[in-house]
Amino acid sequence: MALLRLRTLGDPILRSPSAEVTTFDADLASFADDMLETMDDAPGVGLAAPQVGRAVRLFVYDARDEDEPARGSMVNPTIVWMSEETEEMEEGCLSIPDTYFPVVRSVAVRVEAVDLTGSPLEVEAQGFLARIFQHEIDHLDGILFIDRLAPELRKEAMRALRDQDFGMAPPSRPRRAL
């Protein structure tokens, strides 16, 4: 097990679409273990492979604190259904430190994927877990949560990120990021 280096905004890998996983071997399993350890250490509730420098379609998640207990990994995930009903909730990202904004997402999704051995799995999630899945699958397509903000909020986010670069960001509160 090892901690992996988190890539942050500005690193081009975060903007690259990730490739399908085709080899299900011990290396993949140990990479997923390292991702879980890195997510826990951050701490975060989700982490996608490109956030730690590998552009492959794999993410890990942990929503054990929530109503719907769940922890694990998903390989080659696809959202096959998403509810028309949406909700707005504050979101953050381990790759965009100390930045939290409300994002509108579907309240429920169904995801088809495979596990670390290549066996198919299908998970229906709602609430916070559904949000994690949508956020992490976006990462695999090079999409960041700030891209999902309403135009005015996006402007505000970009301003805040610029200020951070000049070291003028306010002290951060401990929050959960994905």
Residues taking part in catalysis: 136
Nearer to Zn ion, 102 or 119 (CB): 102
What's the min distance (Å) between Cβ of 94 and Zn ion?
A: 6
What's the min distance (Å) between Cβ of 119 and Zn ion?
A: 26
Contact 103, 145 (CB under 8 A): yes
CA angle 172, 155, 57 (to 5 degrees): 75
- Does 75 contact Zn ion by CB under 5 A? no
3-state secondary structure of 19: strand
Tell me, residue by residue from 81 to 100, as one string, x for binding to Zn ion by CB under 5 A and - for no binding.
------------x-------
Instruction: State the residue for tokens 């596990």.
Output: 115
What's the min distance (Å) between Cβ of 139 and Zn ion?
A: 6
Residues touching Zn ion: how many (CB under 5 A)? 2
Residue type, 155: K
Which run of H or E residues covers position 162?
A: helix 151-165
Q: How many CB atoms lie within 10 A of CB 6?
A: 18
List 49, 56, 58, 178, residue binding Zn ion (CB under 5 A): 178
Contact positions toward Zn ion, by CB under 5 A?
93, 178
